[in-house]
Structure 1
Amino acid sequence: MTGELSPIDKAKFVAAKRAAELVEDGMRVGLGTGSTAAWLVRHLGDRVQDEGLRIKGVPTSTRTAQLARDAGIDVITLDEAGTLNITIDGADEFDANLNLIKGGGGALLHEKIVAAASEEVVIIADAAKEVGTLGAFPLPIEVIPFGWTTTQMLVDELLVSADVMGRRITLRMNGDKPFRTDEGNHILDLHLSRIGNPRQLAMALNQMPGVVENGLFIDLCDKVIIGYSDGRVETRDINEGTVSEEHINLVETDNLFSDI
């Protein structure tokens, strides 16, 4: 079955498998959204079934919630959990300081709230997600539907004086209708090419009327686990300043979640 996976999927698979090993019995776990986080949910579901692992999962989207229930994970709300022991999620980009762009899956608001409630945030990714400077991936911002064109205009004016390379803004669509987040909001994707000062831009965007949240995750990530198609896994811990590498066998098995 591993032979049927693309190199990127193999990289996501091993990164998620390594991250799943960080989860201990009794933990309250934030579950991210997206293709890499989906692998994590399935790995955790395997541990629940095979090892009797007992955890409470707090999903960041309705899609992840359904995946977790299907995998046998006990799902609760963040209000029920209070605080979380660990959150494991993917990212669209990360830099050397483990600053992130997230929101490609449309769940950035819930993802940031869950991350902020966690004692530890672990990001899982394939090596292609690492960049020297954030911004090649469009930066999502969640905006309320009321007056969204005015919000877009205000953001465009902000970008004139921001340290970015591009300024094109597009409304994310779902077919012929605007994409709706789980909170019923729209997403504007900012095509910036390069973000010179992510911290400053994140603060400025969140001061704009109509902007609910932005996809820049600054000082939230504690650890990144990078997967490679040959089974190598690299773990970088920004708090301890350590980098470690190991190898995870891509064992031929009939239980490799071919529906991901």
Structure 2
Amino acid sequence: MSGELSPIDQAKFVAAKKAVEYVEDGMRVGLGTGSTAAWMVRCLGEMVREDGLRIKGVPTSTRTAALAQELGIDVVSLDEAKWLDLTIDGADEFDGELNLIKGGGGALLQEKIVATASDQMIVIADVGKEVESLGHFPLPIEVIPFGWQTTRALVEEMLVSMDVLGRDVTLRMSGDRPYVTDEGNHILDLHLGRIGNPRQLSMVLNQVPGVVENGLFIDICDIVCVGYGDGRVEVRDINDGTVRQDRLDFVESDNLFSDLSD
């Protein structure tokens, strides 16, 4: 596989491969959305097919649900599962306290609901996603379509009093139309540059009428598996304060990953 993957994809793969080691038979597992999470779903699919792993997967988007079903993972809704043992998902950014920005893939609402309904959340990411301060990646917020321009104006006004570098707010588009989430909402991307107080910003954003949820995940992530292009993976556990290093070997195979393109 090493000859087939770019260094960034190798990093995503080893992070995903390490994270699925936490999955045990009989677990109810939240399945994240995005390019890195797709590697994780593929790894779980391989375990289901080759090792007989039995899990209930709760997807965070329609595209994750489709991929999981294709790979033979038993997919159920969160209402059916009620509570999850573990959620594994990617992140657009993470800081030293394992606070996250998520939502680049447009699924932040379902992702946050699923993550907070879990005993544990593991984030998988390549090393390029680590930042000293959150905010370089645009912060997504999900808003209802009704009056979204008024909501944007209220958010821009609120940002004046926040500890951020920029205050540009744009409507996410899909071609020539506004992007629509699985819940039928729109997404505003906040180009902030740096977020000085993510906890405060998260709380204030959710008080703005029309805002459904924001992409700041504060005190939700427990473990991050950081992948490197040479096969190294670093596991950081915020609860026990440990950092562990490992290295995963690549093998040539025509398995479930052969047709995956990020």
TM-score of the superposed pair, with normalisation by structure 2: 0.98
Q: CA deviation at 1:257?
A: 3.3
Aligned to 1:200: 200
Aligned to 2:188: 188
Q: Deviations over 1:169-227 (max 9, x none)?
A: 11000000000000000000000000000000000000000000000000000000000
Q: CA deviation at 1:101?
A: 0.1
Structure 1: runs of 5 or more not aligned:
none
Q: How many Å separate the matches in 1 of 2:56 and 2:172?
A: 32
RMSD across aligned positions (CA): 0.6
Aligned to 2:24: 24
Alpha carbons 1:236, 1:243 under 8 Å: kept: yes
Q: CA deviation at 1:2?
A: 2.7
What secondary structure does 1:21 align onto? helix
Counterpart residue identity of residue 208, structure 1: V
Aligned to 1:75: 75
- Dislocated runs of 4+, deviation >3 Å: none
Q: CA deviation at 1:31?
A: 0.2
Identity score, percent: 72
Report how many residues are paired.
260
Alpha carbons 1:42, 1:257 under 8 Å: kept: no
Q: How many Å separate the matches in 2 of 1:170 and 1:133?
A: 21
What secondary structure does 1:4 align onto? coil
Aligned pairs for 1:162-181 within 5 A? 162-181=162-181
Aligned pairs for 1:240-255 within 5 A? 240-255=240-255
Q: Deviations over 1:22-60 (max 9, x none)?
A: 100000000000000000000000000001000000000
Aligned to 1:48: 48
Q: How many Å separate the matches in 1 of 2:68 and 2:226?
A: 23
Q: Deviations over 1:138-168 (max 9, x none)?
A: 0000000000000000000000110000011
Structure 2: runs of 5 or more not aligned:
none
TM-score of the superposed pair, with normalisation by structure 1: 0.99
Counterpart residue identity of residue 35, structure 2: S
Aligned to 1:8: 8
Q: How many Å separate the matches in 2 of 1:129 and 1:257?
A: 25
Aligned pairs for 1:28-107 within 5 A? 28-107=28-107
Aligned to 1:130: 130
Aligned to 1:229: 229
Q: CA deviation at 1:252?
A: 1.4
